[in-house]
């Protein structure tokens, strides 16, 4: 499969049963070629609804149950890659998975910990940078500056639309572009160290660590940082969460956020069916 624009996205959850069935058939054919699969998923906006405040995001019961079932499948490795810190997202999911925090700058598994070279060099600059932005934006109601371990986020979900340009200008004027890069997402400005690393590189690092190929991957995400995954592994089963429309995506498939639990359950059925047919070694 090759990267596709939004006009070519295949809606897995389409009301057209024929189209939905054709999409699942394509996915099954792709996955059936491999004895072990890797699921990479974002958290906010993918596993969880976007909340008014970052701390309010929760994993719904059905999604948690599906992830727990995936944990029990030994032919699947699951990783949650988030803009949150590893500790934050791991606490919200509460399962023994691989976690990538700060957009993959830090990756933790049951038997390993990895920090991207260069990330630690700018880590100590984050608190002062956050304080500087807070001081300059305190007059903007609803602005929220969140400092994390290796990155920071400036949220404007509750900022009046006419004040957003001012907030973004302050971010651009305050951040040292030689040390950090700014990436805009859903009502958030992400501040990340310039280390040439994102979720896409995290996906490849995890695959390489397991001597796996991109074709073994399933990537799900809803934001521009997740497009890093889709572009880095274009031959994976890439699924963009729509809100409700995306002008452009490197993903092949799309879903709405409320269809994610059913998609995960469908993956479990596909995997178990392949095991039963002995395409997977038991």
Residue 214: both structure tokens together: 């991109």
**Whole-number Å distance between alpha carbons of 113 and 96:** 14
Predicted local confidence at residue 15, as pLDDT:
67
Strand ranges (DSSP E) for 82-168?
Answer: 98-101, 106-109, 112-115, 144-147, 152-155
Tell me the three state secondary structure of residue 221: strand
Whether 122 shows a pLDDT value over 50: the answer reads yes
Given this model, what pLDDT does residue 274 score?
64
130-155 tens-digit pLDDT: 999 999 999 999 999 999 999 999 99
> Using CA atoms, how far apart are residues 39 and 57, in angstroms rounded to an integer?
21
Q: Which pLDDT tens digit goes with each residue over 191-225?
A: 999 998 999 999 999 999 999 999 999 999 998 88
Q: How confident is the model at residue 31, as a pLDDT?
A: 86
Give the pLDDT score at 95.
96
Distance of alpha carbon 141 from alpha carbon 137, whole angstroms: 8
Rounded CA separation 93/59 (Å): 7
Give the residue-averaged pLDDT of 229-240. Answer: 95
What mean pLDDT do residues 28-45 have?
Answer: 90
Question: What pTM did the predictor assign?
Answer: 0.89
What is the number of other CB atoms lying within 10 angstroms of the CB of residue 247? 7
Please determine, for residue 277, whether its predicted confidence score (pLDDT) is greater than 90: no
Which residues does the annotation mark as catalytic? 42
Q: How confident is the model at residue 52 (pLDDT cuts 50, 70, 90)?
A: confident
pLDDT at 169: 97
pLDDT digits 0-9 by tens, 248-257? 789 999 999 9
Q: Which domains are seen in the chain, by residue range?
A: 6-116+198-276 (3.40.50.1000), 120-193 (3.30.70.1020)
Considering only residues 25 and 190, tell me which one the structure prediction assigns the higher pLDDT.
190
Residue 185's alpha-carbon distances to 14, 148, 253, in angstroms, are 26, 16, 20
User: Residue for token digits 């590893």?
Assistant: 86
């Amino acid at each position: 499969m090759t990267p596709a624009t939004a006009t070519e996205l295949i809606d897995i959850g389409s009301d057209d049963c024929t189209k939905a069935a054709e999409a699942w058939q394509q996915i099954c054919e792709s996955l059936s070629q491999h004895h072990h699969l890797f699921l990479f998923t974002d958290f906010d906006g993918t596993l969880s609804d976007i909340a008014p405040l970052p701390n309010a995001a929760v994993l719904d019961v059905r999604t948690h149950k599906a992830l727990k079932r995936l944990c029990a499948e030994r032919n699947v490795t699951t990783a949650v890659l988030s803009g949150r810190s590893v500790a934050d997202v791991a606490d919200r999911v509460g399962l023994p998975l691989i976690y990538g925090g700060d957009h993959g700058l830090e990756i933790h598994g049951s038997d390993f910990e990895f920090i991207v070279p260069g990330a630690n060099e700018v880590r100590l600059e984050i608190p002062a940078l956050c304080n500087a932005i807070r001081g300059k934006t305190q007059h903007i109601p609803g602005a929220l500056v969140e400092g994390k371990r290796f990155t920071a986020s400036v949220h404007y979900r509750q900022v009046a639309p006419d004040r957003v340009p001012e907030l973004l200008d302050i971010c651009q004027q305050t951040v040292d572009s030689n040390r950090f890069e700014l990436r805009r997402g859903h009502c958030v400005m992400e501040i990340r160290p310039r280390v040439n690393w994102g979720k896409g590189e995290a996906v490849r690092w995890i695959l390489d660590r397991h001597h796996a190929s991109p074709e073994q991957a399933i990537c799900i995400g809803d934001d521009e940082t997740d497009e890093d995954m889709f572009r880095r592994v274009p031959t994976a089963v890439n699924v963009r969460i729509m809100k409700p429309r995306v002008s452009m995506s490197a993903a092949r498939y799309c879903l709405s956020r409320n269809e994610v639990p059913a998609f995960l359950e469908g993956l479990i059925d596909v995997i178990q069916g392949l095991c039963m047919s002995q395409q997977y070694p038991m």
